[in-house]
Amino acid sequence: MNEKNVEYLGKQLFYTGMEDIPQESLVRNIQEGKPGFVMELIKENISGEAKGIPYFRQSDKGNYFFNNFDMVTTPKGLDPIIQSYWVRKAEPIIVKDANGVPVKDEHGNEQKEWINNTITYAQAANLGFGRAINKTYVKVNKEDPSKNEKYNTWQVLDFKNPDANGKYPLKNISGYDIDKVLTEYNFKELATEKGVKDFSDSLKRGNCQSATYVHPDGAVKKLYVEAHPLSKTSLKIYDANMVRINLSMKRPKIKEGQELVPDQQQNQVEIKDNKVKESLTPPPKEKTVRAKTKRGKSPA
């Protein structure tokens, strides 16, 4: 058995967020010498089940390659959604200072930053559950890699426009500054600089983040929030039972010399009786993890 091949595949699984697949299962499949095999990684949370299915193929020289995986998300009470993702190699960019001058290390070599262009297991799961992710990619210059450029975008699955194979295209969304949006909300978790960063990073990964709303009178309310880049300026907010809250819970904007009257204060946190229940989205904590392997042919 080619141990370097096993090590390489293990690294690929790690960078796609599927390192929980047992290595002994991977080794056993390789030792059997099959032309191709699939494995499974299943995780569950209150949204439902997320199942990653990596496909492995054997080359003519006997090495195995992991080039793509399926993500099957099954929201509770709804039909499964199947999406396919390519495993792409990391690409480098030259690190530059504020003036655009390449930064060099102590040996005089230009410093490089490697960007993971692959959508990971967790990102794919969050997309499948209808949430947005924030992803950095590299625009590759094939003629001169030193001119590679990175760019950042919010992405969602476009469920309204499936392709001929029933898969949903990724839709890029620009103009959504999550850090600026968070300044308009009075969540307890945003009281410190570190708290703001952790909260922002969680939303960028596509998580449904728990939050504690602080009422002007000091009362607190447990909530869940998601990034909402389509709105450009707000968050999706749910109560403790994952029911969508439709009223704005932003800090009230007060003009100079104007005071907020009690009725206006109350209106900031009042929840409508006719709540609209949307597709379930989970808090980030996962309940169980189990890994399976099964024999099967990889897709053409």
Q: Domain extents for the chain?
A: 3-174+284-294, 178-267
Q: Is residue 215 a contact partner of residue 222, using CB atoms and an 8 Å limit?
A: no
**Alpha helices, DSSP H, located in 146-267:** 178-182, 193-204, 262-267
Q: How far is CA 248 from the centre of its chain?
A: 25
- Its pTM stands at 0.80
CA gap 200, 118 in Å, rounded: 21
pLDDT digits (tens, 9 = 90+) for 186-201: 899 999 999 999 999 9
Q: Which residues fall within 8 angstroms of residue 251, CB to CB, at 6 or more apart?
A: 184, 185, 186, 268
Q: Is residue 203 a contact partner of residue 186, using CB atoms and an 8 Å limit?
A: no
Q: What are the angstrom distances between the C-alpha of 2 and each of 28, 34, 247?
A: 12, 14, 59
Question: Is pLDDT at 270 greater than 80 in this prediction?
Answer: no
The percentage of residues in the chain with a pLDDT greater than 90, rounded to a whole number, is 65
Name residue, tokens 């426009």.
161
Q: What are the angstrom distances between the C-alpha of 285 and each of 44, 82, 86?
A: 10, 22, 26
20 CB burial (10 A radius; 0-12, 13-18, 19+)? middle
pLDDT at 45: 81
Name residue, tokens 């005071």.
259
